[in-house]
Structure 1
Amino acid sequence: MSSSRVGLRFFQNSRAAFREAFRRPGAQGRRFQTSDAAAAGQQSTFQRLWNSPIGVKTVHFWAPVMKWALVIAGISDFQRPAEKLSLTQNGALTATGAIWTRWCLIITPKNYLLAAVNFFLGCVGVVQVSRIVSYRRSVDGSTKEAVKDLEHEVVEEAKGVASAAREAVKKSS
C-alpha cells in the first residue's frame, strides 16, 4: 500500500515539475504576453510584434493581410465598365466592410490592422455601388426606376439561389 502512495506522489510531483520546466518565465496564463512590464520594455520591436496577442504568429495578423487581396481586386474593378459590375457582390463588400470595421474596434484585443482593411473594403464597395447606381440612373433616366431595377435584380437572384437550393435538396434526398 505504501508503494502505491509513493508512485502517486511521484507522478503528482513529476507533472508539476514538467509544467514548471516548460513554463515561460513571467507567464501568468496568457499565451503571448509577458506580465513583467520591464521585460516588455527591453524587448526589441520584432520580439514585441512576435509576442503580441495580434502578432505575426496569430490569425489576427494573417487574416487582414490576406483580406487586402479583396481590396486590391475591388480597386482593379474601378477600370471595368459599370454595366459589368455586380450590385449584389459590391453591396456585400460594402456591408462586410462596415460591419467588420465596427466589430474590430469592439473586440479584445482591438485589431486595428483588420479594421483598416475592412474600412477600405467598405470604401471600395461604396464607390462601386455608387458607380453602378449612377450608371443605371443615366441609362434609365430616373433614380426611382434605377432603384426598381436594382430591387428586381436582387429579387431574381434570390429566387434563383432558392430554386437551386431546392433542387440540391431534392437530389440529395
Structure 2
Amino acid sequence: MAAAVKALNAKIRSNPALDYFCSTHFWGPASNFGIPIAAVMDTRKDPEIISGRMTCALLGYSSVFMRYSMAVTPKNYLLFAMHFVNFGAQSTQLYRFTDYWYMGGKDKSAANKAKEGLAGAEGALADIKDSAKGLADEAKKQVDKVTR
C-alpha cells in the first residue's frame, strides 16, 4: 500500500500542471476567493451595514499578502490576483462607508426613502379614491334602480 501511494505521489509530482493543482500554491488562494467574492456581492447592500474597521483591516491584510505573494519563491500569481480583487472590493466598500457616514450619504439615502414612501402613499391614495368613486357610482345606480 505504501508503495502505491509513493508511486502515485511520484506520478503527480512529475507532471507540472498536476503538481501545481495539488499544491498549497493553488488551494490556498482558491479557498480564500470567498473573501473577495463576498466583498463584491456586498457592494449591492445598504452602506449602513459596512464596518469601517473591518474594511480597513481587510485592506491592510490584502496589501500585505499581495506583497507576500510576490516575495515567495515561486511567485504565487493566483494569491496576488485574489488579494488584488479583494483590495479593489474593499476599497469600494471603504468609499461607500465614508460617503455614507461622513459625506452626507446618510441624509441623501433618508431623503430618497422618504420620497419613495411618499410616492407609494400617493399611489395608494389614488387607488383608494378610484375605488371609492367606483363604489359610489355603483351605489347611485342601485338607488336609481330601486327608486324608479
TM-score range, shorter chain: 0.5 to 0.7
1:45-78 Cα offsets, whole Å, 9 max, x none, are: xx32113xxx111111101111111111001100
Aligned identity (percent) is 26
Residue of structure 2 equivalent to 1:50: 18
Q: Could you say which structure has the larger radius of gyration?
A: 2
TM-score by length of 1: 0.51
Which of residues 76, 81, 85 in structure 2 aligns to 1:120? Answer: 85
Equivalent-residue separation in structure 1 for 2:102 and 2:92 (angstroms)? 15
The structure with higher relative contact order (CA 8 Å, sep 6+) is 2
1:1-80 correspondence runs (5 A): 32=13, 47-51=15-19, 55-80=20-45
What is the Cα-based RMSD across aligned positions, in Å? 2.5
Q: Deviations over 1:79-138 (max 9, x none)?
A: 111111111111111111111001100111110001100111111111101110111123
Cα distance, 1:127–1:140 mapped onto 2, change above 3 Å: closer
For the 8 Å contact 2:70–2:80, the answer to whether it is kept is yes
User: Can you give the 5+ residue segments of structure 2 that lack an aligned partner in the other structure?
Assistant: 1-5, 107-148
Q: Residues 94 and 124 of structure 1 are in contact (CA less than 8 Å); yes or no, is this contact kept in structure 2? A: no
* Bigger helix fraction: 2
Which runs of structure 1 show a deviation greater than 4 angstroms over 4 or more consecutive aligned residues? none
Q: How many residues align?
A: 98
**What is the CA–CA distance in structure 2 between the aligned matches of 1:131 and 1:71, rounded to whole Å?**
16
Instruction: Output the TM-score relative to the length of structure 2.
Output: 0.59
Q: In structure 2, how many angstroms separate the alpha carbons of the residues matched to 1:126 and 1:139?
A: 19
2:96 to 116, 121, 131: 131
Is residue 98 of structure 1 aligned with residue 42 of structure 2? Answer: no
Q: For 1:90 and 1:138, locate their aligned partners in 2 and report how far apart those are by CA, in whole Å.
A: 18
Going from structure 1 to structure 2, the CA distance change for 1:112 and 1:140 (only over 3 Å counts) comes to closer
What SS class does the counterpart of residue 43 from structure 2 fall into?
A: helix
